[in-house]
Amino acid sequence: MSATRFVDVSFTDGQSAAWAGALEAPMLCAAAQSLDGARFAAIEAISPEVMSQCLSRGENPLQRLEDIRRWAPTARLRAVVDLIPRHGRFDELGTGLLRAWLRLLAEKGVSEVVLVDPWGDLGRMTRAIRLSKEQGLEPIAALVYPTGASQAHDELAQLAQAFVKGGAARIMLRDEAGLLSTGDLGALIPTLRAAIGPAELDLHTHCHTGLGPQVALEAIRLGIARLDTVLPCVANGPSLPSSLHMSHSAALLGLEIQGVATQPVEEANAALLRVAAQENFPESQPWAFDLAHFMAALPGPLAARAMQAAKACGRDGFHRFAKECESVRRELGQPPMLGPYAEDVMKMALSHLAGAPRFGRIYPSMRRLLQQKGGGFSQAALHLRQRVGRSETTREAPPPPNDETGLLAMMCGIAPAGVPARQQKHYELMSPEEALTQGLLARWATYPSLTVTGPGLHIQLSHSRGAQSC
Amino acid sequence: MLNELRQRVSDEFQRTGKRRRVKLVDSTLRDGHQCLWATRMRTEQMLPLAQKLDKSGFDCIEAIALVQFDASVRFLNQDPFERVRLLAERIRDTPLRGAVRSNLLGGFYPVAEDINALYVERLIANGISELWFLDALHCWENIAPSVAAGKRLGAKITAPLLRFNSEPGYDVDFYISKTREALDLFSPDIVNFGDPGGNLSVDTVRTLIPAIKGVIGDRPLEVQVHCVNAIGPLVALEAAVCGADRLMCSIEPLANGNAGPSAHMLARNLREIGFEVDVVDEVLDEISDYLASVAAENGFPVGVPAEYDPSHLLTQYAGGAMTNLQAQLQDAGIAHQLPAVLDEIARVRVELGSPVMSTPFPAMVAGQAVMNVLSGERYKVVPDEIKKYVCGYFGRPPIPVNEDVKDKVIANGSKEIALTPPEIPPALPALRRRYTGLSDDQLLLRYMYGDDRVDKLVPTRVDDTFSIKNPLSVLVEGLAKLPARRRVHIASGGVEILANG
C-alpha cells in the first residue's frame, strides 16, 4: 500500500461550490503558477460544470484549459468527462464524439480523465475507458456513491470489479453529496479494495455534513491512492477538504501520505484570497451537521445554490426544501443525483417550495429520465411516466465536427456561433488604495463632491461647474 | 445514514409501542455564551428573552454555573444571585438549573463544606430548582456535601456528571463503576454524560450510552456534547437513538463552533428520524433573532460550525476554555503562541494523568502549558494549582501523574504548599462574625470575590422589552426622535429616506 497523494480540484469543484463558479480563467493565473510546484498528483483543470460556467460569462473553456496548461506547465492535468451530457440534446456521448473530445483533451495537455456515468453503465464505461487509453489518457472510472435507495456495498464492489475488468486501472469513489461517514467507509473501502485487486482506489468526497475531513482522513488510513482536495480558501461547506488541513492532520495522526509542498500551496491560497477580496467572493466556512443533506443529496455546487435560495423561505427553509427534494427523488424513482438529474430535482423542489404546482413542469432531462433514456429505470411514479409517454428512439450524438469550436459546441449542446471567441485577458489585482480610488472615480460624477478621510489618507473629488480636483 | 437512523428509531417504536419523546435542555444562558462570548452576556441582555425561553418547550433551562459567577462579578460588575432571581421571576414554568462545580468556588480551590452547602442553598433560595454537580476527576466525595444540601432543600439532582475522556483507562468499565458509585451515594434524579472537548465519536456513543442506560434503570440520561470538532450534532443524534432521554443544546447563534449543538437543528433532525420533540421552533426563531442582534450590537462572535480537526483529540480542550484561552493570550500579547501552547497542553495533560478537560482543569493545564512555553524549560515555573493537583488537593486523579513530572512539580512548586492536603475547617461561623447583618448572598459573594469587587457591583437596569434591533430600525428610531419639522434626506446603498422634503 503506497502513500496517499492529493489531487487539487480548486479550479473545478472547489470554486464551483464555494464561489458559485465565478473564478474566471485570468483570476487563477497566479494560483495555477504556484500549484505547479506543489507536488499534487494532479490538478483538475476542466469539467462539464466549469465549461457551462465559462460559456455563461463569455469565456472560452478550451482557452481556460490552455491557460492552465501554460501557467502550470509541469503539473499533471485532469479532466472530468460526463458520459451522459448535461445539456440533454442527445442521450449519451457516442463513440465518435467521445473519441474526438478525448483526443482534444489530450492535445491540450490533459493526462488523465475521470469518466462519470450516473448510471454506472458498464458498456458505456468500458468503451470510454478504451477510448481514453487510445488517446494516451489514463482513465479513472467513477464509482458513484449512491444517494438514492440504499445500495449494498457488495453491489458497488461488483460494479467496481466490472470496471476494472473493462480496463480501468483506477477507480474513484465519488461522493458528490458528501454523504459518506467514517462508519460507511470502514466497511466500504476494504470491500472495494478486495474487489478491484491491484487497481488503485481514489476518493472524491464533499463536506456538506461537516464529516468530509474526518472521512478523508479515515480513507487515508484505509490506504486510498489519491484524495481530491482543494485550497483552504475554497474548502469545506459544500466543497471538499482542504489540502493543507489534510496534510497537517494526516501528519499529526501519523498517516502515510505523500504530502504537498506547503509553501506553494499557501502561496496559491493567498493568490486566490486576494482575488476573493477584490471580487467579494464569500469566505469559505464549514457547514454544521444536518440530516437535511441526506434528504437533498445534492452535489456540492447545487447544495450551495439551494441553501442560498432556501434562505428566503425562513430559518427552516433548507430543511423544508430538503424534504421536498427527498419527495421529488422518490417520485422520480431515485435517480442518480448527478449531472442533469440533480439540477432538475433541485429546481423542481425549489419550485414546489415556492408554491408552484407539483411537477407542474417536467424539465427536458427529467423527461428523458422518465422515458428511461440514458440508463433509466421504471420505478418512477406512474402518473409521471404516463405524463411523458414512451419514447422508442434514442437520440444519438451526431458525428463530431473536425474543428475545435464545433466540437466544443457539440459537447456543450450549443450552436458553434455561441462559442465565445478566445480573448487575451489579464486580471489585475489592485491594492486597497487603488480599489478605493477606482470605486470613487466610478461614482464621483453622481455627487457634487466626495471626500474620504482615513489614517494617512485624504481624498477629495469635486466637480462643481464642470471642474474636478483630487 | 438517514435511513439507518430512521430504521433504528422505527424499530424501537415497534418494540415499545410508543414513540419516544427526546427532551431538550437549553444552555444558551450558561454554556452558550460561556463558549462563544467568553461568558460576557449581561443580565439585562438575558431578561428580555427569559419569558420567551420559558415558552420554548425546553425541559429545563440552565441559568448559571461558577464560570458565570466569576465573569459576572469580575468582568460585568453584576450580582450573579440577582441574575438568578430576575431570571426565576420570568421563567416560571420551566425548571431553572444551576451548577455546582465540585467543592470549588471562586479561585478553583477547594473550600469548606459549609460554604459549598451555603452556595447550594442560596442558588435554591434565589430560584434554582434543578442542580447538577460536576467533579471532573470523578471523585464523588468532593460533591457529596453539596448534593446532600441540594437534596435536603428539595432540588432535582443531576449527578453524576460523567465526563468523557478518550484516554486509556476511561473505558466502559470506568464509567459503569463511577455511575454505580454515584447512584449508591446520591440516588440522583438524572444522570448526565458529557463531552466538554467535543471528541466523542459515534462508535463510543454506541457502546457507552447503552451501557450507562443499563446501569441507571428508569432514571433519565442526559447527554451534553460540544461542536468543537464538527461531529457534535451527529453524536447528539446518535446518543438519542442509543437511548439518551435529554440532550443539552443552545439557541443559534450561541450554538456550534466551541458551543453545543443548535436547538433548532437538533429538534428538526430528531423529528426527522421519528422522535417527538417539544420545542416551539417559532419561539426559538424569535430568540435567535434577538441574540443575533445582541451579538451585532456588542461585537460578539456568532457560532460558526467548526472544521474537523484531529488535533482536538490530543488537546481535548473544552469549548468555553478555548475561547477564554484565546482571549487571555490575546490580552497578554502572546496570541501568536497559541499553536505552541496547544501542543504543550496536549503533553501536559497526558503527563498530569489525563484529567478530563472540564473546569477547572483546562485552565490549570493551560496555565502550566503557557509557563512551559514562555520559560523555555518545562515545569521550571509551576503554578500553585498544579502543585496542589499533584499533591491530591482536588482528589485522586483516575490515572496517576507521571512520576518524573510529579517530582519536578513538587521540587519547583511553591514550598508554602504542604505535600499532604490539610483538613479544611468550617468557614461560615467566622464569616458570619465578620459580616454581621449582611445577607447570605452578600456574605457568600464577599467570601468568593472580596469586598472591593462586591462593592463595585451595580444593580441591573430591568427592562423586559423584547426588541430585535437591526441597523434600519435603529436609524428609523433615531429619526423619529428628531424635531418633526426637520427635513431629512438619507441615501445609502439601496436605501433612500426622505422626510418633510
- ipTM, two decimals, is 0.86
Res B332: pLDDT: 79
Res A470: pLDDT: 40
Res A92: pLDDT: 82
**CA–CA min distance B203, chain A (Å):** 8
Question: pLDDT digits over A201-244, tens only?
Answer: 999 999 999 999 999 999 999 999 999 999 999 999 999 999 99
Are A439 and A350 members of one domain? no
Looking at the partner chain, which of A249, A291, A294 has a beta carbon nearest the beta carbon of B309?
Answer: A249
Q: Please indicate whether, in this complex, the C-beta atoms of A291 and B2 are within 8 angstroms of each other.
A: yes
pLDDT band of B38, cuts 50, 70, 90: confident
Res A400: pLDDT: 85
Answer whether residue A75 is part of any domain. Answer: yes
Question: pLDDT digits over B387-406, tens only?
Answer: 999 999 898 888 899 999 99
Looking at the partner chain, which of A242, A285, A319 has a beta carbon nearest the beta carbon of B268?
Answer: A319
Q: Please indicate whether, in this complex, the C-beta atoms of A289 and B3 are within 8 angstroms of each other.
A: no
Q: Is B75 on the interface with A (CB under 8 A)?
A: no
Q: Please indicate whether, in this complex, the C-beta atoms of B1 and A294 are within 8 angstroms of each other.
A: yes
Q: Please indicate whether, in this complex, the C-beta atoms of A245 and B309 are within 8 angstroms of each other.
A: yes
Q: Which three cell numbers stand for residue B41?
A: 452576556
Q: Which residues contact B102 (CB under 8 A, 6 or more apart)?
A: B110, B133, B134, B135, B136, B137, B139, B142, B143, B394, B395
Question: pLDDT digits over A8-44, tens only?
Answer: 999 999 999 999 999 999 999 999 999 998 999 999 9
Are A151 and A24 members of one domain? yes
Are A311 and A247 members of one domain? no
What share of chain B in percent tops pLDDT 90?
65
Answer whether residue A117 is part of any domain. Answer: yes
**CA–CA min distance A45, chain B (Å):** 26
Q: Which of A47-61, B224-238, B486-500 has the lowest mean pLDDT?
A: B486-500
Dist CA B95 CA B98 (whole Å): 10
Q: Where are the alpha helices (DSSP H) in A166-258?
A: 182-196, 212-221, 243-252
Answer whether residue A321 is part of any domain. Answer: yes
Are A50 and A187 members of one domain? yes
Q: Which of A291-300, A422-431, B299-308 has the lowest mean pLDDT?
A: A422-431
| Domains observed in chain B | 2-11+20-298 (3.20.20.70), 311-412 (1.10.472.90), 470-501 (no CATH)
**CA–CA min distance A237, chain B (Å):** 9
Answer whether residue A185 is part of any domain. Answer: yes
CA-based nearest residue in chain A for residue B282: A315
Q: Please indicate whether, in this complex, the C-beta atoms of A211 and B308 are within 8 angstroms of each other.
A: yes
Looking at the partner chain, which of B1, B310, B314 has a beta carbon nearest the beta carbon of A179?
Answer: B1
Q: Look at residue A270 and give its three-state secondary structure.
A: helix
Residue B213 has pLDDT above 60, yes or no: yes
* Cell 472591593, residue located: B452
CA-based nearest residue in chain A for residue B232: A289
Mark which residues 223-242 of A lie under 8 Å from B by CB: 235-236, 242
Substitution target in A182, A207, A214 with the highest count of B β-carbons within 10 Å is A214
Boundary residue ending a domain (A356, A388, A420): A388
Residue B320 has pLDDT above 70, yes or no: no
Q: Please indicate whether, in this complex, the C-beta atoms of B272 and A290 are within 8 angstroms of each other.
A: no
Looking at the partner chain, which of B2, B256, B281 has a beta carbon nearest the beta carbon of A295?
Answer: B2
pLDDT band of B319, cuts 50, 70, 90: low
Q: Please indicate whether, in this complex, the C-beta atoms of B264 and A217 are within 8 angstroms of each other.
A: no
Res B107: pLDDT: 65
Boundary residue ending a domain (A279, A301, A332): A279
Report the pLDDT averaged over residues A66-80. 96
Dist CA A255 CA A258 (whole Å): 10
Are A38 and A155 members of one domain? yes
**CA–CA min distance B120, chain A (Å):** 37
CA-based nearest residue in chain B for residue A146: B1
Among residues A22, A43, A75, A26, the alpha carbon closest in space to that of A243 is found at: A43
Res A431: pLDDT: 76
Answer whether residue A286 is part of any domain. Answer: no
Q: Is A282 on the interface with B (CB under 8 A)?
A: no
Dist CA A327 CA A324 (whole Å): 5
Mark which residues 238-257 of B lie under 8 Å from A by CB: 256
Answer whether residue A336 is part of any domain. Answer: yes
Residue A452 has pLDDT above 90, yes or no: no
Q: Where are the alpha helices (DSSP H) in B318-470?
A: 319-331, 338-351, 361-375, 384-390, 403-412, 428-434, 440-449, 451-455
Answer whether residue A407 is part of any domain. Answer: no
Answer whether residue A202 is part of any domain. Answer: yes
pLDDT band of B310, cuts 50, 70, 90: confident
Residue B385 has pLDDT above 60, yes or no: yes
Are residues A238 and A9 in contact, defined by beta-carbon separation less than 8 angstroms?
no
Res A461: pLDDT: 72
Q: Which three cell numbers stand for residue A270?
A: 493567498
Choice between A424 and B125, residue whose per-residue pLDDT is larger: B125
pLDDT band of B473, cuts 50, 70, 90: low
Q: Is B281 on the interface with A (CB under 8 A)?
A: yes
Mean pLDDT (chain A) is: 89
Are A200 and A134 members of one domain? yes
Residue A150 has pLDDT above 60, yes or no: no
Are A228 and A307 members of one domain? no
CB atoms within 10 A of CB B482: 12
Res A435: pLDDT: 75
State the CATH number of the domain containing residue A62: 3.20.20.70
Residue type, A198: P
**CA–CA min distance B13, chain A (Å):** 20
CA-based nearest residue in chain A for residue B491: A447
Looking at the partner chain, which of B262, B308, B311 has a beta carbon nearest the beta carbon of A210?
Answer: B308
Res B397: pLDDT: 86
Res A147: pLDDT: 60
Torsion angle (degrees, nearest 10) of CA A111, A117, A121, A122: 10
Residue B498 has pLDDT above 70, yes or no: no
Substitution target in A291, A293, A311 with the highest count of B β-carbons within 10 Å is A291
Are A227 and A312 members of one domain? no
Substitution target in B8, B228, B268 with the highest count of A β-carbons within 10 Å is B268
Question: pLDDT digits over B341-363, tens only?
Answer: 888 988 999 899 988 887 788 88
Looking at the partner chain, which of A184, A210, A249 has a beta carbon nearest the beta carbon of B231?
Answer: A210
Report the pLDDT averaged over residues A44-71. 96
pLDDT band of A467, cuts 50, 70, 90: very low
Choice between B327 and A41, residue whose per-residue pLDDT is larger: A41
Q: Please indicate whether, in this complex, the C-beta atoms of A211 and B307 are within 8 angstroms of each other.
A: no
CB atoms within 10 A of CB A306: 25
**CA–CA min distance B41, chain A (Å):** 24
Boundary residue ending a domain (A352, A372, A388): A388
Are A146 and A264 members of one domain? yes
Number of domains in chain A: 3
Choice between B312 and A173, residue whose per-residue pLDDT is larger: A173
Tell me which chain B residues have a C-beta less than 8 angstroms from the C-beta of A210.
230-231, 233-234, 305-308
pLDDT band of A468, cuts 50, 70, 90: very low
Q: Please indicate whether, in this complex, the C-beta atoms of B310 and A315 are within 8 angstroms of each other.
A: no
pLDDT band of A469, cuts 50, 70, 90: very low
Report the pLDDT averaged over residues A261-281. 93
Res B222: pLDDT: 97
Are A147 and A250 members of one domain? yes
**CA–CA min distance A294, chain B (Å):** 6
Report the pLDDT averaged over residues A111-140. 95
Are A340 and A446 members of one domain? no
Q: In which domain, by residue range, is A457 found?
A: 432-466
Res B456: pLDDT: 93
Q: Please indicate whether, in this complex, the C-beta atoms of A211 and B256 are within 8 angstroms of each other.
A: no
Are A20 and A132 members of one domain? yes
Residue A148 has pLDDT above 60, yes or no: no
Q: Please indicate whether, in this complex, the C-beta atoms of B310 and A217 are within 8 angstroms of each other.
A: yes
Q: Which three cell numbers stand for residue A134?
A: 487510445
**CA–CA min distance A415, chain B (Å):** 39
Dist CA B299 CA B223 (whole Å): 31
Q: Is B492 on the interface with A (CB under 8 A)?
A: no
Question: pLDDT digits over A386-436, tens only?
Answer: 777 777 677 777 888 889 999 999 999 999 999 999 988 888 888 777 777
